Amino acid sequence: MQAEINIGLFGHVDHGKTTLTKAMSGKWTDTHSEEVKRGISIRLGYADASIYYCENTKKYSFEKECSDKCVPKEVKRISFIDAPGHETLMTTAISASSIIDCALFLISANESCPQPQTYEHFMVLESLGIENIIIVQTKIDLVSKEKALENYAQIKEFVAKTSYKDKDLPIIPVCAYHRVNIGELAKKIYEKFKTPKRNPDAALRVYISRSFDINKPGTKITGLKGGVLGGSIVCGKIKDGQEVMLCPGITRNGKTKPILVKINGLRAESNILKEAHPGGLIAMGTSLDPSITKSDALNGTVLGEKDNHPEITEEISVSYKMFKRKDTENISLLEREPVVLSVYTSTGVGMITKLKKGNARIKLKKPLAIDPKSKVAISKRIGQKWRLVAIGEII
């Protein structure tokens, strides 16, 4: 069974996103060696889970069995995307927002609200039009009841100052480590997050967010398997055995050309699929040389149909709007300054060549595969850090 909806987890660093993902799905998504060593998420983490409903107890949960030893009914299959919260990894969090339908926004009860990335992650969701949000108040086991209520009030006050003030966002207190109130969160996800209407007949677009080599060291050439791509279908559908176009492809002799790729297998976690549709995250076995897919080398690419794929370009025009940030004043973009662009799941560097009344012409360091009217987030170097300063649309 393929997941029907993508849910992103956002919030300040160390507010419990990865721990909550494990409580809901049973999977710890920090698997990279540097993530384990530093104790923070660096890459996007993925996990699938199901919500079950028990007719006897009238309760929702993420568990296949309930306390009465009956068999609950599976009512929704979902994919979780765990975005890093550290300020230096904002571009990775932005790339997560391009493939999600709704979001769980985590705010820790043992810190005042808002923290720096609480504000910044909320700004990303606002600008990209993510309307369906559930706020999860985490780590309630680390504070007294009075402190938890004080933090709850701070969260309400913070939301009231955003564009979500009239959305009546639910706030669910949980302790993910001890799995306290996780059932109530499952119920709220089922009730609030409805599966979006998809268009499986539209032109295929798959945003690639992971790529890797599954072959073990020492494997003989005759036993090698093609590289694997991971991502989410935004529109259209893809079949096992289908030939698709990978864009922007590979650059050789100064020219970038798309690559024709055959799909040699589709999986939604452990489930083997013959055909995949929009919603959820999928892994695709391919005919690609595994050497070019290892270590997320193809992260940010796009799959399209052979005769209908995104345009490959080295220069874009963007209609943009600057953010009003609390930590900086009177910021603006300048001609001939470098910027970091986040388009779909791709993050790249560009140079502004021309500015005129909210429009910028940007020369890209590496080609991008884009469709017109695609959203783009722009980060500018402020001091020693890249900070998100504008959101725009490719024209």
Asked if residue 368 lies in contact with residue 302, where contact means CB atoms within 8 angstroms, the answer is no
- Quick one: tokens of 346? 């791709």
Using the Cα atoms of residue 326, residue 328, residue 334 and residue 338 in order, give the sign of their dihedral: negative
- Which has the higher per-residue pLDDT, 296 or 36? 296
- Quick one: tokens of 374? 């695609």
Instruction: Report how far residue 45's alpha carbon sits from residue 41's, in angstroms, rounded to the nearest whole number.
Output: 8
- Residues 6 or more apart whose Cβ sits within 8 Å of residue 341: 347, 348, 349, 350, 362, 364, 368, 376, 377, 378, 379
Instruction: Report how far residue 289's alpha carbon sits from residue 80's, in angstroms, rounded to the nearest whole number.
Output: 29
Q: What value does the mean pLDDT take over residues 193-215? A: 89
pLDDT of residue 29: 59
- Quick one: tokens of 12? 């300040």
| Confidence category of residue 301, pLDDT binned at 50, 70, 90 | very high
- Quick one: tokens of 253? 């002799």
Enter the pTM of the model.
0.84
| Confidence category of residue 94, pLDDT binned at 50, 70, 90 | low
Q: Is 327 exposed, middle or buried (0-12, 13-18, 19+ CB in 10 A)?
A: exposed
Per residue in 168-196, pLDDT (tens digit) is 899 999 999 899 999 999 999 999 999 88
Which residue in this structure is represented by tokens 């909806």?
A: 5
Per residue in 229-288, pLDDT (tens digit) is 998 898 899 999 999 999 998 877 778 889 999 999 999 887 899 999 988 889 999 999
- When computed from its CA atoms, the radius of gyration of the chain, rounded to whole angstroms, is 21
pLDDT of residue 92: 57
pLDDT of residue 327: 63
Kindly report the CA angle at 280 between 1 and 5, in degrees rounded to 5?
A: 100
- Quick one: tokens of 349? 């560097």
Which residue in this structure is represented by tokens 């025009």?
A: 317
Instruction: Report how far residue 376's alpha carbon sits from residue 389's, in angstroms, rounded to the nearest whole number.
Output: 11
pLDDT of residue 119: 80
Asked if residue 283 lies in contact with residue 213, where contact means CB atoms within 8 angstroms, the answer is no
Instruction: Report how far residue 257's alpha carbon sits from residue 62's, in angstroms, rounded to the nearest whole number.
Output: 44
Per residue in 61-85, pLDDT (tens digit) is 998 887 767 888 999 999 888 876 4
Q: Is 16 exposed, middle or buried (0-12, 13-18, 19+ CB in 10 A)?
A: buried
Phi, then psi, of 304 in degrees rounded to 5: -135, 180
Asked if residue 345 lies in contact with residue 300, where contact means CB atoms within 8 angstroms, the answer is yes
Kindly report the CA angle at 237 between 236 and 242, in degrees rounded to 5?
A: 125
- Residues 6 or more apart whose Cβ sits within 8 Å of residue 11: 17, 85, 105, 106, 107, 108, 117, 118, 121
CA distance to 35, 114, 188, per residue, from 2 (Å): 28, 36, 21
pLDDT of residue 27: 81
Residue 133: Cβ within 10 Å count: 22
Strands 102-108 and 5-11: parallel
- Which has the higher per-residue pLDDT, 125 or 219? 219
Asked if residue 92 lies in contact with residue 347, where contact means CB atoms within 8 angstroms, the answer is yes
Instruction: Report how far residue 148's alpha carbon sits from residue 164's, in angstroms, rounded to the nearest whole number.
Output: 22
Instruction: Report how far residue 375's alpha carbon sits from residue 387's, in angstroms, rounded to the nearest whole number.
Output: 17
- CATH numbers and ranges of domains, the chain: 5-192 (3.40.50.300), 205-304 (2.40.30.10), 312-394 (2.40.30.10)
